[in-house]
Chain A
Amino acid sequence: MKTSKQEKSSKMSDYEMVLGLEVHVELGTKSKIFCGCATLIGAPPNTQCCPVCMGLPGSLPVLNEKVVAFAARAGLALHAEITPLGRQDRKNYFYPDLPKAYQVSQSELPIALGGYLVIEGGKKIGITRLHIEEDAGKLIHEGDEGTCIDYNRCGVPLIEIVSEPDFRSADEVKSYLQKLRATLMFIEVSECKMNEGAFRCDVNLSVRKKGDTKLGTRTEMKNLNSFAFIVKAIEHEFNRQVAVIESGEAIVQETRRWDASKGMSFAMRSKEDAHDYRYFPDPDLMPIAISASLTDEMRKALPLLPDDYIQKFIQKYGIKPALAEQLVTSKSIAMYYEACAQLTTAYESLAGIMVTEVMRLMGGEETILVAAEDLSDLVDLVDGGKINLSIAKRVLNEMWDTGKKPLKIIEHEDLWPVVDLDVLTEIGESILKKMPQIKADYLSGKHQALGAFMGQMMRATGGKADPVLSEKVFLTVITDKDH
């Protein structure tokens, strides 16, 4: 079908994207879903497996009760209904990393149905379902030697969380994933380490003209495991689909693989060669019974969730919502903030240092190497104007490395700001003598020359010049007729 000229001239901004997500999360149970094998990451290949997870003939699965408890807790944290009598089904397909040639998953009666998650800005994203399933092994391609199989990951418990197609931008997706990840970490069902594949995401994306109510044909991008990739992959796929439609062609329903190194996605398989998984109830496993009273008990036992902390931070400490969102991206950050907020009242400065400097030093890990009282002391020093932010950063780095108290570091390394007006004036005069252009610029109306002066002051004092006094010195010196 040809498109009309008018349609052809339409722009990117005339389209909107519609996205739904399927997120797979490895649960943090010590043993696998159907056997007692360990779930440690990084063990030598095929050292954490047994007849059950290797699918040997005659072996039978026995459901790990912890997996059910973790999955139900996740369901409750996402405001979903817990299925009283759940079922496990076999999803049949052949692949060398799947030793039984079926994956035990849940089709009709998943652990939880119908929840939601609120993302930054207050939008509610619907959650269709949450179910448990087993992970597959890993294929390792060894060049000429062929393909080897590591069965260690077989039977590692997963939950799959399927969202409604409620997203309209990559930012919303990112915000949802951050909140989802934080929620699962807060309730301690998974460490959600993305670089280890413990939190990975399939994106279903379609586009349509703004104002249309009918959904377009969607594509699926599989196994994205970094926020940056996800955003890039979404933007790329949106552009690709709009370009396809604009050229008058139709979107093919297919699965696409995102190649991060090339920054492109490639078609893997189309709907025509999609598997018929022949789901049916696994006869080796009993129904998963979760009574209403147990559900209530679990609901009551839920710890504070990211949204609870956000409310608290906004209401109790007066933090801005966007900053509060960032403070709950990890449980250790939220709890640490809470601990520091008992020791200082400089809540805003504390939050600022937390989301910039402390999170930088954490580098994606969950450990904070500075005692709450030490960080609060440092924040008080900054907030009270005793030291500036760049000195504070230096001090914090050292606190992180050595565990020393901030005052000790400042004393020992002589980091107190230079507040002696005579000393500052002397330095200021010598700078302006060497660089008369600064004065000339400033007097001719280029007020950014002050910045250049401040830079020189900081350089000359090793960053210790008091900024307020330095500015005063500048203004005094340039208006002084003697100079």
Chain B
Amino acid sequence: MKTLIYETIKKQQAMLMQKEISSVALTEAYLTHIQETDSEIGAYLHLDAPSALRAAQKIDDQRMRGESLGPLAGIPMALKDNICTLDMPTTCASKMLDGYQPPYDAKVVQLLKGANAIILGKLNMDEFAMGASTENSYFKKTRNPIAPDRVPGGSSGGSAAAVASHQAAYTLGSDTGGSVRQPASFCGVVGLKPTYGRISRSGLIAFASSLDQIGPLAKTVEDVTEVFTAISGYDPMDSTSSKAEVMRAADYLSGDVSKMKIALPKSFFGEGIEASVKAAVHHAAKVFESLGATIIEVDLPNLDAALPAYYLLSSAEASSNLARFDGVQYGYRTDAFDSIETLYKQTRGEGFGREVKRRILLGTYALSSGYYDAYYQKALKVRTLIQSAFNKIFETCDFILSPVAPTTAYTFGAHDKSPVEMYLGDVYTVPVNIAGLPGLSVNCGYDEKGLPIGMQLIGQAFDEKTILSAGHAFEQTKQIWRAV
């Protein structure tokens, strides 16, 4: 039974349908593995075995009665801990929300429950999704399953590590500036950041509302696509969600790579990128060429402005989004206060970690009277420029191929001294959020230390089909680059 957990969703579902295995057995296999593994990995913040087993039993009963069940039915998964769950705590890995239990399920959770998914528990992350290594969690570290002395990436580090260590068949993360794609790259799994508006944000605890997007992580592009279609679609509870049509999973994989024109932005391969990462992505380009695609080198102007613009916009929104954590209605409240003012100050001073405070300060400053035009307003202009630069490329190309991150997974504490250095790691992923585009992170190689390297496929808005089809075609070739 143990080998079941190494299989893809597709394989597991086939076995469930053939009644070769039961959902209870599959769930038990995961729970046993988590028991054995997670004290080392540290992916889970909350595990709810009894509920998972009850849900599995229910689905087995339905299957025995011959009810027709969907492609995710009976498959165990887990959620990043910033996605609200009615029956489990939702902490954002923050002291501020330690023990907080929302009174409602996020839209994606409702959809997953409707699809009979088995929800095992909640996963570790950088506090309020701010960070790129999951080191900013208030609760614990998560180790990279490929190299336990290294970070899993972040902020959805728990989500990537859980998939890479077979502690869930798939997981959900959230991606504001790369938080699904970068940990997927560091852990060697597949992660999709869908087009902004594809997946309802209702019940996702906001970091930066105009950039946040929930995304799936799984072992293969095919699996990611299955999850993506299950949780996508218009939600009247989210004004920013789109009414764009959602196709069946198979349709998203049916694109013809041989006719595709692939843009390779020169500026993405300049300073700061590790040689192995560059080599692996260039190798991937060759693989696509071998599949019949055309590679076109392109310019992406104003890219250097994307990172500062991202940190201004995301921090500005965060400073407002996180203002509600004031110790009044829910969450952490200080013991030491004698007025409403000290209640606010002490609660927020004690409840938030360093990185969160840093971003709140930065964002508050950027929005302050007298600075708004110079910072926030200017960042909005950069956003428009980046969007039009991408659009220009898509006039001639089908998708953009780039690295996910300039480096592979680094060791714990590597960026403790300089947060800005860590911010630089987001250089390839943030432009995609700024422009609201879909981005797929797929493993394309390993560096000399055996650490995974991800490539990023960036598509046009609402054209997940092209990047999923291309990613899927690449996976089929199994031509993974390895440093020698």
Which residue numbers of A lie inside 8 Å of B, CB to CB? 51, 54-63, 90, 92, 94, 96, 99-102, 149, 276, 278-280, 283-286
Contact = CB atoms under 8 A, between A and B. Distances in A.
A57 B367 CA distance: 22
Contact of A92 (B102, B236, B238, B320): B320
Contacts of B97: 57
A278 B369 contact: yes
Q: Which of A55, A102, A276, A283 has the most CB of B within 10 A?
A: A283
B323 A57 contact: no
Contacts, number: 98
B449 interface: no
B103 A51 contact: yes
Q: Which of B103, B324, B340, B368 has the most CB of A within 10 A?
A: B324
Given A100-B324, A285-B239, A58 B330 contact: no
Contact of A286 (B92, B240, B324, B328): B240
Interface stretch (B20-28, B196-204, B399-407): B196-204
Contacts of A59: 202-203
Contacts of B208: 283
B90 A60 contact: no
A57 B239 contact: no
B320 A56 contact: no
Contacts of A149: 328-329
B369 A284 contact: no
A215 to B, nearest CB: 22
Contacts of A55: 324, 329
Interface residues of B, number: 43
Contacts of B376: 280
B323 A51 contact: no
Contacts of B236: 62
Given A62-B238, A280-B367, A283-B208, 10 more contacts: A51-B104, A54-B329, A57-B97, A58-B206, A59-B202, A62-B236, A99-B329, A100-B323, A102-B323, A283-B317
A280 B320 contact: yes
A104 to B, nearest CB: 11
A96 B324 CA distance: 10
Interface string B87-114: 0001010000100101110100000000
A83 B394 CA distance: 34
B440 interface: no
Q: Which 6 A-B pairs have the closest CB atoms?
A: A101-B323, A283-B210, A283-B209, A278-B367, A57-B205, A58-B203
Q: Which of A60, A94, A286 has the most CB of B within 10 A?
A: A60
A63 B324 contact: no
B240 A280 contact: no
A401 to B, nearest CB: 49
19 contacts: A51-B103, A55-B324, A56-B330, A57-B100, A60-B201, A60-B238, A92-B320, A96-B328, A99-B324, A101-B324, A102-B320, A102-B323, A276-B369, A278-B319, A278-B369, A283-B208, A283-B210, A283-B240, A286-B240
A54 B330 CA distance: 11
Nearest to B325: A57
A276 B97 CA distance: 27
A101 B367 CA distance: 15
Nearest to A97: B328
Nearest to B97: A57
A60 B237 contact: yes
A352 B94 CA distance: 69
A278 B364 contact: yes
Nearest to A61: B239
Nearest to B128: A57
Contacts of B328: 96, 99, 149
A57 B84 contact: yes
Q: Which of B319, B328, B330 has the most CB of A within 10 A?
A: B328
A133 B34 CA distance: 49
A279 B329 CA distance: 24
Nearest to A92: B320
B175 to A, nearest CB: 16
A177 B210 CA distance: 40
A179 to B, nearest CB: 35
A101 B240 contact: no
Q: Which of A57, A62, A102, A285 has the most CB of B within 10 A?
A: A57
B462 interface: no
A115 B316 CA distance: 34
B426 interface: no
Contacts of B60: none
Given A51-B103, A57-B102, A94 B323 contact: yes
